[in-house]
Amino acid sequence: MIARLLICPDVAKIKEEIALHLEGVKLNHPDVLYFKVGEKLGIAEARKIKEHFSLKPYSAKGRSVIIEDASVMTVEAQNALLKTIEELPKEAILIFGTPSDANFLPTILSRCEIIRIKDDELRIKEGKEDVEKLLEATIEQRFEYVEKLKNREEFLQALVWYFHQHLLEYPKFTKELLQAEKLAKQNVNIRAILEYLMLVMPMPK
């Protein structure tokens, strides 16, 4: 299992993401060690984390350590946790929340899966810009864009949002999007759905 670093200036967003990663395990569960925003994170806390992972799970699949704001972790604590991060037990979960990665050692960053959480306003802005570019693109360029997409589900939602705002301009394509949403919920391959939408999306005038 790999440690995860969740980056977002909004603590509430980090907490939401933590809940998703915990997969239903309660924060007060005996197999969960939880550090809230404002708690000290020095060498003593690093030892607690190492000891926590050294024990067998009480009733969950694995043990979890969650730190809401790991940006206050001292350099000594980070160094002390390097081996623990590298050798996490199977089924273990280690999540660092932080508003920025600026205070982390490069050796910590290289051992974590880094997840940047975008707020809703930024998602909408980026999605709008991409959709407007695709409206001016060729079929080949559209397919290339879909191929490189990292989060296709999120982009489908951006398409739906954009064309709902332009319903009168693109009524036929908006209907196609509503059907695509239904197919996505039925676990139809999301790439295939997007490639079809790229074919039927209005071409440049």
Share of the chain above pLDDT 90, in %: 51
The model's pLDDT over 62-77, given as tens digits with 9 standing for 90+, comes to 899 999 999 999 999 9
Is a pLDDT exceeding 80 seen at residue 47?
yes
Question: Over the chain, what is the mean pLDDT?
Answer: 89
Please state the pTM of the whole predicted model: 0.60
- Residue 32 in 3-state DSSP? strand
Share of the chain above pLDDT 70, in %: 94
- At residue 61 the predicted structure's pLDDT band, cuts being 50, 70 and 90, is confident
Q: Which amino acid is at 19?
A: A
78, 51 in Cβ contact below 8 A? Answer: no
- Which is higher by pLDDT, 95 or 151? 95
The pLDDT of residue 125: 65
- Residue 5 in 3-state DSSP? strand
What single string gives the DSSP state of each residue in 84-95?
HHHTPPTT-EEE
Q: Is the dihedral of CA 118, 75, 40, 86 positive or negative?
A: positive
Residues 127-136, mean pLDDT to the nearest whole number: 88
Burial category of 109 from C-beta neighbours within 10 Å (exposed 0-12, middle 13-18, buried 19 and up): exposed
What single string gives the DSSP state of each residue in 152-174?
HHHHHHHHHHHHHHTTTT-HHHH
- At residue 175 the predicted structure's pLDDT band, cuts being 50, 70 and 90, is confident
The model's pLDDT over 9-29, given as tens digits with 9 standing for 90+, comes to 888 889 988 888 776 777 788
The alpha-helical segments, DSSP class H, found in the chain are 11-22, 43-54, 75-86, 106-109, 120-135, 139-148, 152-165, 171-185, 190-200
Is a pLDDT exceeding 90 seen at residue 163?
no
Residue 4: φ, ψ to 5°:
-120, 140
